[in-house]
Structure 1
Amino acid sequence: MSSPGSSRPRRARTVAAAATLALLAPTACGSGEESGSPTINLYYPPEQSMQEVVDACNAQAQGRYRIAYRVLPRQADDQRVQMVRRLAAEDTGMDVLGVDVTWTQEFASADWIREWTGEDAQEAQRGTLAGPLETARYQGKLYAAPKHTNVQLLWYRTDLVPQPPKTWDEMIAQAQQLKGQGKPYRVITMGAQYEGLVVLWNTMVASAGGQILNTEGTKVVLDDGAVKALEQLKQLATSGVTSPSFANATEDPARLEFQSGNGAFQLNWPFVYPALQEADPELAAKVKWARYPGVDENTPSRATIGGSNLAVSAFSRHPAESFEAAKCLRNAENQKISAVKGGTPPTLESVYADPEMDEAYPMKETILAELKDAATRPLTPAYQNISTVISAELSPPSAIEPDRTAKDLRRSIADALESKGVLP
C-alpha cells in the first residue's frame, strides 16, 4: 500500500510485479488494434446489469472502440489486491477501473489513475450528488467519476413498532420493551472486525458532529463527537438487544437473521429489500424503512456512503477512448439500468425522479435524503491502513472503554497515517 507521500510508482517494483502480472493477466485482453479499433478493458466488480450497460455503450461507440467487461473478484479486498498489483507493474492492459469510494485517494496519490479535466471533468460533476463526488477528489482535483453510491437504512417491523425511532437510544428502549413483552426485539446490524464495523462507527461519529481526521486527511482529530460515538456503540453492544452473533456479523448473515423473524430492527444496505420480498413476502409486507437513527434527538443522522467510482488507468494506451467509455458507463440512462436491474443507487440526482425507479426503489426518497446529507469515510491515501486499525480497536464493541479506546485509536491511526505498524 502506498503511503500518503507516494508519487509515481517506483520502477524498482516492476520486475517483481511483472511475474505476478503474468499470472494475473487474463488471456483474452487483446488490444483490438488488429481489427482497427481498440479494446477498452473495464475492470469492475460483479454487477448483474453491467454487461447490458457495456453492450449499450459499445453500440453508442459505433465501432470506434469496444469495451470488454473484466469481472473482478466478489470480495473488495481481493479486487483491490488485483488492481494494486497490476497498477504497480504499470500494466497497460487495464483501462477503466471500478474503484471503491475508499480507494480513489490511494490510487491518485500513487499516480496510478489520471486526473479528469476540461469537459470530461465538467460532465462527471454535472448533476452528481455532492457526497459521492467528494470521494472522487484528491487534493482538490477530480480523479474519478462516481458510478453508483449506497447508504444504509433503518428497516423495522411495523407490526411491532408503529413509528420508527429517530435515535439509537430510542431504538434500544423500544427493543428492550419488546423483549420484556416476549416479542421479537433484536437490533440487527454488522459488528464483526471488518469494514462494516468501521462504517457503523463512522456513521455514529458523523451523526454526533465528530471527526476522525482533519479535513485534509493528514492528522488525527478524534474529537468529542468521536468519543460520544464510542459511548453509543458500547451502549448498543451491552444493552441486551443485539444478536448473540453481533460481534461476528457481516451484511448477509445480518440480513438472514432479520429475515428469519428474530429482529424488530435492522441497519443494512438496500439489497435486503428485494431479498426479503423473494424469501418471505408475508414478512416483507410488515417491513418498512426509515432514515438511519441519529445520536442526538435534534440532529438528523449522517449515514456513511458506499459505492464505486470510475477511474482511467495512468497506463492505458487509449486514454481518450477510456474517458469516453467511462462517461457512457455512468450516464443517466445507464445509471438507471444499473439501479433498476442491478440494485445500485445512482449518483446522478435526476435519475431518482425517473418513473421506472418507483417500483425498483420505493425507498428512493429516503435514500436520496440520506445521500444529500451523507458522511464519507476518512478521505486519505492511507485509508486501508486506518480501516484496519479502527476495526481492530473497536472489536468486540462490548469491550470498548470510550476514553481508553479513544486514546488507543489516536495513537494507532496516527501510526497508520504514516504506514507504521500495519501490514500492507
Structure 2
Amino acid sequence: MKFRFTAAAVAAALIGASVPSFAAEISISASSTGKNLDLFRKQLDAFEKATGNTVKIVTMPPSSTEQFSQYRLWLAAGNTDVDVYQTDVIWAPQLADQFVDLKDATKDVVGDFFPAIVGSQTVNGRLVAMPLYTDAPALFYRKDLLEKYGKQPPKTWDEMEATAKEIQEKERAAGQKDMWGYVFQGNAYEGLTCDALEWVKSSGGGQIIETDGTISINNERAAAALNRAKGWIGTISPSGVLAYQEEESRGVWQTGNAVFMRNWPYAYALGNGADSPVKGKFDVTTLPVAAEGDKPSSTLGGWNLAVSKYSKNPDAAIELVKFLTSKESQKQRAIELSNLPTLSALYDDKDIAAAQPFMPNWKPIFENAVPRPSAVAKVKYNEVSAKFWTAVHNTLSGNGTAEENLELLEADLTTLQGSGW
C-alpha cells in the first residue's frame, strides 16, 4: 500500500504556511539509511511543485557518528550551503546555538506532537528542531523458525541466547550453513551506545549517568550485562558483528541468515518488501530483559529537522520543515518506511494500521524508552558516548574484562564531569 500526495494533501500540509513570494533555493542534509533519501525526494518534489522553491538533498552517511562530526564542522564554519539539517534526538543540547528557534513559527502545530519528544528538542526555552519521526528498537524474530522448532519469542536474554543457539545449530545441520542466531550493532559508534545501554538498563545496571548527574555505570549488573554480550561473539553472533552498523545487521537478517535481530522500525518495512527473502516470515517483540521482573529497555531514538542560523532563506527552510513534519508527510513516511510518527493522532490512522499492523503496538515501546544521557551531559555527551562505546567494544573484543573497562570508564567520566558538563 502506498500513500501518495494528492494536490489536496499538499495543500493541507501547507495550510497556514507563509510561503515566500519568491522562488528560493534551499538544501537539506539527510541520512542515506534504508530508503530515507528516496522518500525525501518524492516529498521534496511535491513541495517544489506547490511552492515554486527548489530543494537539493545533501547526502549523509548512515552512521550518525559520522553525520554529527560533519555537521559540527559545517556549523562551526558558518556554512551557508545547508539550510535544513536532519538531526538525531541526542544532538539538540550540543548544536542548539547553531539553529533557529522554531517556537513561534510552529506554535500552530507543535501542540499536536508528543510533548516528551518536543521537550527533547527544546534547549533553554528554544525549540531547535521539529520531530520528524521517533524511534525505539525491538527484537525482530523469525516466526517461521520459532514455530518450526516449537519456541516462543524470548522474554529474557538467556532465553534468547538458548533459542538462537539451538535453531542456529539445527538449521546449519539441515544445510543452512550461513545461519546465525543473533545480529546487532557492534561497531564502535553511537549505535553500540544504544545497544549496550539496553543490555545494561534491562539488567538493572542503570543508564550510564543518572538524571541527577550520578555516574552509575561501574556496577556488577552492568558488568554482567556486558559479559553476557561478549559471550555471543563467535557463538550466536558472527565475529564480524563487531564492525556491524544498522545496515550490516539488516543485510544478514534480510537475506534470511539470522534468527533474531535488534534493529529500528525502518527495518520492518524493508524486511517485508516485495524482494525480501524474509517477507511475511518475521515479527517483532520487546527487547529481552536479564530476569523476570526487570523492565524491557529500548533506547529512545528519533530524527528531527532543524534550520541553520546561517541559512540565506530561513523562511523557506522553516516552511519546508513544517511541510516534512506535517500529518500528511508523516503518514506517508509511516506507510512507506515504517517510521514511527511523532504525532499522536496518527497511531489511530486506519491506513497506517493496515499498511503497518505492528505500529500501533509499538507506541508503548517508545513511550517507555530509555533516553541516552544527553540531557545531563549536554555539550559533553558526544565524549561521554564515545568513552562508553569504546569500553563496551573493548569488552566485546576481548580487550580487557567488563569489570576492568567499566572501572576505567568511571574514572574517565569522573574527570570529564569535573571539567563541567
Fold in common (TM above 0.5): yes
Are the counterparts in 2 of residues 169 and 295 from structure 1 also a CA contact under 8 Å?
A: yes
Q: 1:137 to 1:417 in 2, by over 3 A?
A: farther
How many angstroms does 1:200 deviate by?
Answer: 0.6
Are the counterparts in 2 of residues 124 and 146 from structure 1 also a CA contact under 8 Å?
A: no
Cα distance per residue 1:199-243 (max 9 Å; x no partner): 111122333451222426x6634365xx52331231132154333
Matches of 1:123 and 1:260 in 2, distance apart?
41
What letter matches 2:38 in structure 1? Q
The answer to whether 1:228 aligns with 2:201 is no
CA RMSD of aligned residues (A): 3.2
Instruction: Give the equivalent residue in structure 2 for 1:151.
Output: 136
Secondary structure of 2:293's aligned partner: coil
Matches of 2:269 and 2:182 in 1, distance apart?
20
Alignment of 1:395-406 (within 5 A): 395-396=393-394, 397=396, 399=398, 401-406=401-406
Are the counterparts in 1 of residues 200 and 225 from structure 2 also a CA contact under 8 Å?
A: no
How many angstroms does 1:126 deviate by?
Answer: 2.5
Instruction: Give the equivalent residue in structure 2 for 1:238.
Output: 231
Instruction: Give the equivalent residue in structure 1 for 2:352.
Output: 357
Alignment of 1:171-320 (within 5 A): 171-178=160-167, 186-208=181-203, 210-215=206-211, 220-222=215-217, 224=219, 227-238=220-231, 240-278=235-273, 283-320=278-315
Instruction: Give the equivalent residue in structure 1 for 2:8.
Output: none
Are the counterparts in 2 of residues 188 and 265 from structure 1 also a CA contact under 8 Å?
A: yes
How many angstroms does 1:165 deviate by?
Answer: 1.0
Matches of 1:296 and 1:260 in 2, distance apart?
31
Matches of 1:285 and 1:115 in 2, distance apart?
44
Equivalences, count: 379
Matches of 2:81 and 2:227 in 1, distance apart?
47
Are the counterparts in 2 of residues 385 and 419 from structure 1 also a CA contact under 8 Å?
A: no
Secondary structure of 2:372's aligned partner: coil
Matches of 1:82 and 1:241 in 2, distance apart?
35
TM-score (norm: length of structure 1):
0.78
Cα distance per residue 1:165-222 (max 9 Å; x no partner): 1121221232344467566661222222222221111122333451222426x66343
Are the counterparts in 2 of residues 129 and 347 from structure 1 also a CA contact under 8 Å?
A: no
Matches of 2:300 and 2:84 in 1, distance apart?
22
Secondary structure of 1:103's aligned partner: helix
Matches of 2:185 and 2:26 in 1, distance apart?
37
Instruction: Give the equivalent residue in structure 1 for 2:38.
Output: 48
Are the counterparts in 2 of residues 53 and 338 from structure 1 also a CA contact under 8 Å?
A: no
The answer to whether 1:127 aligns with 2:113 is yes
Secondary structure of 1:48's aligned partner: helix
Which of 136, 153, 174 in structure 1 is aligned with 2:121? 136
What letter matches 2:42 in structure 1? E
Which of 362, 384, 394 in structure 1 is aligned with 2:382? 384
How many angstroms does 1:289 deviate by?
Answer: 1.4
The answer to whether 1:57 aligns with 2:47 is yes
Deviates more, 1:341-350 or 1:171-180: 171-180
Secondary structure of 2:106's aligned partner: helix
Deviates more, 1:332-341 or 1:392-401: 392-401
Matches of 2:94 and 2:243 in 1, distance apart?
28
Matches of 1:171 and 1:296 in 2, distance apart?
12
Alignment of 1:76-115 (within 5 A): 76-108=64-96, 111-115=97-101
Which of 55, 61, 65 in structure 2 is aligned with 1:74? 61
Are the counterparts in 1 of residues 209 and 217 from structure 2 also a CA contact under 8 Å?
A: yes
Secondary structure of 2:145's aligned partner: coil
Q: Where has structure 1 moved over 6 Å in runs of 4 or more?
A: none
What letter matches 1:408 in structure 2? L
Which of 361, 380, 391 in structure 2 is aligned with 1:366? 361
Cα distance per residue 1:296-343 (max 9 Å; x no partner): 422331211333211122223444443333122201111112222344
Deviates more, 1:44-53 or 1:281-290: 281-290
Q: 1:263 to 1:315 in 2, by over 3 A?
A: closer
Secondary structure of 1:159's aligned partner: helix
Q: 1:174 to 1:398 in 2, by over 3 A?
A: farther
Alignment of 1:8-23 (within 5 A): none
Matches of 1:202 and 1:188 in 2, distance apart?
16
Gaps of 5+ in 2: 1-19, 173-178
Percent identity over the alignment is: 27
How many angstroms does 1:154 deviate by?
Answer: 0.9
Q: 1:97 to 1:257 in 2, by over 3 A?
A: closer
TM-score (norm: length of structure 2):
0.78
Instruction: Give the equivalent residue in structure 2 for 1:13.
Output: none
Are the counterparts in 2 of residues 96 and 313 from structure 1 also a CA contact under 8 Å?
A: yes
Gaps of 5+ in 1: 1-32
Matches of 2:304 and 2:39 in 1, distance apart?
16
